[in-house]
Structure 1
């Protein structure tokens, strides 16, 4: 948010070309590409299409990772049960040595334990974490798109700030210093 306020102030006084050095110093590639489009004089529809297309590809790439871990979390318990059943079949085929039954039973149940444990304690939580991180990254990219479009229209820095802060939760909003308080 503060980056866009700074960019807007500089663009208002010195023009978009003055942002060239600031863009080079920016670490976020998505932000760089968006502001570079503004500097290059691209129109609003072109910028919107370019950035939305990239956002869509990021969303799809993230979805693939989430689906892989969701699938692993769903199938791992089933493979654990299959391992348990196969172990029990093997155990039943060698019932003539009763002293081996407890050891083989433990082996059978460990297959179920590892299947359930890996599914519910590893893969599904990892899929959930990937989903949360993806949502956070996509929100940041949506804020960047909105900021770039507002910058391109020449909106006032205070308007850009209030517009971009609307995307944030109240706690995060309070952490961002207002440009009005800086002016005082």
Structure 2
């Protein structure tokens, strides 16, 4: 669990509620169901209109990464690559066939499978790089759905405010109800801007970080498999992969 993300969200929402209360407002007055329905429903509908079904499903699938980051044990991965190298040098590439079948990471399993099939170093590198780039693009495209939501949300909020003002005008002869209606109308604007800048855009940026971490982890595995295909020793492979541990130590423990 990413405690920093949760803490940041609580601080942002809490600061708004407390600040509004200090100004003499009642925090519960900021909750308005019709405004919430207009902003959330309008924003969700807009992004569904512009997004393909596969991308939208992928976005839903990776959304939890914001608060529950995937775990990548870099130390264990390096040790695993070293074991593969040692086994390949002693028994040949075919000895890794079982590893290719049982490895839980699809990307690593494919790399081992290509190695077992006797692919050349260049073909192995090209195939893994293409897979890596395509997967990165698919994940980033899914993460950009939240960027789109952050773009539409403020505008939908303004739309909700205008609709609220139209409704408030029906109370033009009753100043008290007119004032209450105007205040309620502007809550939609608050929702639109608040959701964009406190939730949607920060989530998009956090997902970008998670995706880059995942890609870097897979890049490390690819380099390890390619090094095995070149017949490098386990010690040399470890030295090569150490750079990933130094550059991104937080990948091992989130």
TM tier relative to shorter chain: 0.7 to 0.9
Q: 2:153 and 2:162 mapped to 1: Cα distance?
A: 14
Instruction: Report how many aligned residue pairs link the two structures.
Output: 174
User: 1:35, CA displacement in angstroms?
Assistant: 1.0
What is aligned with 2:3? none
User: 1:112, CA displacement in angstroms?
Assistant: 0.9
Q: Equivalent residues in 2 for 1:12-27 (5 A)?
A: 12-27=89-104
* TM-score w.r.t. length of structure 1: 0.87
Q: For residues 127-164 of structure 1, give each alpha carbon's deviation from its aligned partner in whole angstroms, at most 9, with x where no partner exists.
A: 01210110011101111111111010010000101101
What is aligned with 2:6? none
Q: Equivalent residues in 2 for 1:25-174 (5 A)?
A: 25-169=102-246, 172=249
User: 1:93, CA displacement in angstroms?
Assistant: 5.0
Out of 28-37 and 87-96, give the one that drifted further: 87-96
User: 1:87, CA displacement in angstroms?
Assistant: 2.1
Gaps of 5+ in 2: 1-77
User: 1:106, CA displacement in angstroms?
Assistant: 2.5
User: 1:170, CA displacement in angstroms?
Assistant: 6.1
Task: Name the Cα RMSD after superposition.
Answer: 1.9
* TM-score w.r.t. length of structure 2: 0.64
**In terms of Rg, which structure is larger?**
1
What is aligned with 1:11? 88
Q: 1:75 and 1:55 mapped to 2: Cα distance?
A: 31
User: 1:13, CA displacement in angstroms?
Assistant: 1.1
Q: 1:169 and 1:93 mapped to 2: Cα distance?
A: 65
What is aligned with 2:15? none
Q: 2:244 and 2:177 mapped to 1: Cα distance?
A: 63
Task: Please say if residues 8 and 157 of structure 1, whose CA atoms lie closer than 8 Å, have aligned partners that are also in contact.
Answer: yes
User: 1:123, CA displacement in angstroms?
Assistant: 0.8
Q: 1:22 and 1:66 mapped to 2: Cα distance?
A: 32
Task: Please say if residues 65 and 130 of structure 1, whose CA atoms lie closer than 8 Å, have aligned partners that are also in contact.
Answer: no
User: 1:91, CA displacement in angstroms?
Assistant: 2.3
Task: Please say if residues 78 and 115 of structure 1, whose CA atoms lie closer than 8 Å, have aligned partners that are also in contact.
Answer: yes
Q: 2:178 and 2:241 mapped to 1: Cα distance?
A: 66
User: 1:125, CA displacement in angstroms?
Assistant: 1.5
